[in-house]
Chain A
Amino acid sequence: MTTYLLRRLLALLPVMLVVVTIVFFLIHLIPGDPVAVILGPEANAQQIEDARRELGLDRPLHEQLVRFYARLLRGDLGRSYFLDRPVTQALWERTEPTLVLMAGGLFVAVLIGVPSGIVAGAYQGSWWDRGLMTLALLGVCVPGFWLSLNFIYLFSVRLGWLPVAGYASVFQDPVAAFRHMLLPAVSLGFSQSALIARIARSCMIEVLRQDYIRTARAKGLAERSVIYLHAFRNALVPVVTVIGITMAILIGGAVVTEIVFNIPGLGRLIISAILRRDYPVVQGVVLVTAAAYMLINLVVDVVYAFIDPRIRYV
């Protein structure tokens, strides 16, 4: 297990290097002179020259790249022009809402996805199966951000049950936090639950074909215990991977959901940073989410290898 873990961590290094390089080049993709674009039309020549030196853009490209790596290794993501504080601090302040939203979305996705998939798979071809899978297809196709808007209209504007938008910290006011987070979590989790349901269903069908299920039936076990004791647990193994993938996808989804519900998380941070041309913040958010994405994928693979030892030897 340790060797496996080490091997996986080592394999992550070159990918991380590529990721950092891509993020570095983002600022060089700006058409024309990046400094002039960042500072806007009002800046004078002296300001442009100062900013260029501060950003290190006056040095040769390879030197800039090496400095960028070195800075990152020290945990320095630069300084936000607009917020006037280190990017790491700005990121840290905005992480909680995004994490809470992702956790809520994941909870909803699993809560809806796993039971739907298991039932559809266990009763393949039934009306339950057809109904749930049609819903799952819809869930994949309905854009989450649009679903959010419809939820807001229905539950907040028309029925007045829940707040339209905003955020309350779980640590300060749990009840308000729940009321604010309910709609965002459901609209974020719904489309992911469709993916989980589809995979859970096909895993269930696969498992129900195995010999040990036939044995369980042959020894006279009730269908209920065959499905829930024998098949369900084995079908869950691949589902763990999908839940991990879901978590990774949720990072992207959370960004969009935050904009709809005005949640002050990383998504709002990056979008406002783009509008203010605050590129260090854009780079910081992209880098941190990519790192989180990779880390989640790694954890999923390791958990998977832990549950199913056959994986390690492939």
Chain B
Amino acid sequence: MAVADRTPALAEVPTAAVGERTKWTRRLLRNRNVVIGGSVFLLLVLVALFANALSPYNPTRLYPGQRLKPPGLQNLLGTDEFGRDIASLVLHGSRVSLLVGCVTMVLTSLGGVVIGLIAGYYRRLDIVIMRVMDGLMAFPAILLAIALMAARGPGVWNVILSLSVVYLPRTAMLIRSTALSVRELDYVLAAQALGRGGLAIAFRHILPNCIGPLLVQGTFIFAYAVLAEAILGFLGVGVPPYVPSWGNVIASGKNVIREAFWVSLFPGLALTLSGLSLNLLGDGLRDVLDPRLRVQ
């Protein structure tokens, strides 16, 4: 009898979960910002993945005879001062941008969750951790990134590391404040009363409440990181100049702006498009997942 009683309940669990999931999917798909931003972003990811197949030329090969050709049939978006094809450079540049954006987002999220939960749950550590985070936030973001790059030297992984350090405090503070508001709720008190350990409560009961804000924040950090990577490249302290990245190409376009505006124009457009898609996606996700933060 007992077995018969429990069977339907067990069977209901997956159905409920699926129902919940379709409900969220439907809500997300109904949001115009999520759909537009998400589709453009997906397109950028596909471009980055298939950059080799899509590029008409090898982006790193120099064709001295083809210097500064305006956009035309042979080079759709023109060539730069070394005769490199701008279209191929822009297509390949998306790889560096998305790699930096994506890994920075993942690193800041992971680090932010661990630091934020510890600070939000262990009050004694909170004071120390938050002062360090305040200290990191006291620098203008791009200057801290520049300073870290100055010490570490050019390179994709150094860019990722620097930007992760710069943007980590924002995520940590977000998770901490969510944790602080959730830890007083009845179900957390109930878990404490049941004798659950601090870490188990933090990760099993508090973390799930942070997922929505974390996803929204992550999208914006992705956008910041893509932009910051381009700025560092433009300033000559980001990825090495021979790596095709949007910032590097815009920097080389600066030197030839009098003769060839197209060198900096197209990578900048790609950068703007990626920023636009991520901002739209972030705004949309915020409206759906975290209505408290909604700006009217």
Given contacts A138-B276, A141-B279, A259-B235, contact A286 B147 (CB under 8 A): yes
Q: Which listed segment binds A: B24-32, B43-51, B184-192, B258-266?
A: B258-266
Asked if B253 and A149 sit within 8 Å, CB to CB, the answer is: yes
Question: Does A122 sit within 8 A of B, measured CB to CB?
Answer: no
Enumerate chain A residues within 8 angstroms of B234, measured Cβ to Cβ: 145, 256, 259
Asked if A141 and B272 sit within 8 Å, CB to CB, the answer is: yes
Asked if A249 and B257 sit within 8 Å, CB to CB, the answer is: no
Enumerate chain A residues within 8 angstroms of B124, measured Cβ to Cβ: none
Asked if A143 and B275 sit within 8 Å, CB to CB, the answer is: yes
Enumerate chain A residues within 8 angstroms of B236, measured Cβ to Cβ: 271, 275
Asked if A143 and B271 sit within 8 Å, CB to CB, the answer is: yes
**B 265-281 contacts with A by CB, 8 A:** 265, 268, 271-272, 275-276, 279-280
Give Cα distance in the complex from A21 to B144, angstroms.
13
**B 114-146 contacts with A by CB, 8 A:** 131-132, 134-136, 138-144, 146
Q: Which listed segment binds A: B14-22, B61-69, B79-87, B149-157?
A: B149-157
Asked if A29 and B152 sit within 8 Å, CB to CB, the answer is: yes
Give Cα distance in the complex from A302 to B75, angstroms.
57
- A contact face: mostly helix, strand, loop, or mixed: helix
Asked if B134 and A18 sit within 8 Å, CB to CB, the answer is: yes
What size tier do the contact residues of chain B reach?
35 or more
Asked if B135 and A18 sit within 8 Å, CB to CB, the answer is: yes
Q: Which listed segment binds B: A210-218, A230-238, A289-297?
A: A289-297
Give Cα distance in the complex from A259 to B151, angstroms.
20
**A 218-272 contacts with B by CB, 8 A:** 248-249, 251-253, 255-256, 259-260, 270-271
A65 to chain B, nearest CB (A): 14
Asked if A143 and B254 sit within 8 Å, CB to CB, the answer is: no
Asked if A248 and B264 sit within 8 Å, CB to CB, the answer is: no
Asked if A26 and B147 sit within 8 Å, CB to CB, the answer is: yes
Enumerate chain A residues within 8 angstroms of B151, measured Cβ to Cβ: 26-27, 29-30, 279
Asked if B271 and A249 sit within 8 Å, CB to CB, the answer is: no
Closest to B230 in A: A143
Q: Which listed segment binds B: A76-84, A86-94, A150-158?
A: A150-158
Give Cα distance in the complex from A286 to B144, angstroms.
7
Asked if B140 and A249 sit within 8 Å, CB to CB, the answer is: yes
B273 to chain A, nearest CB (A): 8
Question: Does B160 sit within 8 A of A, measured CB to CB?
Answer: no
**A 120-156 contacts with B by CB, 8 A:** 137-138, 140-143, 145-146, 149-150, 152-153
Asked if B139 and A19 sit within 8 Å, CB to CB, the answer is: yes
Closest to A205 in B: B296
Give Cα distance in the complex from A233 to B250, angstroms.
42
B295 to chain A, nearest CB (A): 5
Asked if B131 and A251 sit within 8 Å, CB to CB, the answer is: no
Asked if B138 and A31 sit within 8 Å, CB to CB, the answer is: no
Asked if A294 and B138 sit within 8 Å, CB to CB, the answer is: yes
Question: Does B227 sit within 8 A of A, measured CB to CB?
Answer: yes
Closest to B271 in A: A143
Asked if B268 and A202 sit within 8 Å, CB to CB, the answer is: no
Give Cα distance in the complex from A202 to B135, angstroms.
30
Give Cα distance in the complex from A153 to B262, angstroms.
10
A193 to chain B, nearest CB (A): 16
Question: Does B214 sit within 8 A of A, measured CB to CB?
Answer: no
Given contacts A19-B135, A29-B152, contact A146 B140 (CB under 8 A): no
Question: Does A308 sit within 8 A of B, measured CB to CB?
Answer: no
Question: Does A22 sit within 8 A of B, measured CB to CB?
Answer: yes
Closest to A144 in B: B231
Cross-interface CB contact of B235 among A14, A164, A249, A256, cutoff 8 Å: A256
Give Cα distance in the complex from A252 to B141, angstroms.
7
Asked if B140 and A18 sit within 8 Å, CB to CB, the answer is: no
Asked if A289 and B143 sit within 8 Å, CB to CB, the answer is: yes
Give Cα distance in the complex from A256 to B254, angstroms.
13
Closest to A146 in B: B268
Binding site for B on A (CB under 8 A): 14-19, 21-23, 26-27, 29-31, 137-138, 140-143, 145-146, 149-150, 152-153, 157, 164, 198, 202, 205-206, 248-249, 251-253, 255-256, 259-260, 270-271, 273-275, 279, 282-283, 285-286, 289-290, 293-294
Q: Could you jot down 26 A-B contacts, CB within 8 Å?
A: A18-B138, A19-B138, A22-B135, A22-B139, A23-B147, A27-B151, A30-B151, A30-B152, A31-B153, A138-B272, A140-B275, A141-B223, A142-B272, A143-B272, A145-B231, A146-B272, A149-B264, A150-B265, A153-B261, A255-B142, A270-B143, A271-B235, A275-B236, A286-B146, A286-B147, A289-B139
Binding site for A on B (CB under 8 A): 131-132, 134-136, 138-144, 146-153, 223, 227, 230-231, 234-237, 250, 253-254, 257-258, 261, 264-265, 268, 271-272, 275-276, 279-280, 295-296
Given contacts A150-B268, A289-B140, 5 further A-B contacts (CB under 8 A): A145-B231, A255-B146, A271-B146, A271-B236, A293-B138
Closest 5 CB pairs of A and B: A18-B135, A146-B268, A252-B140, A141-B275, A29-B151
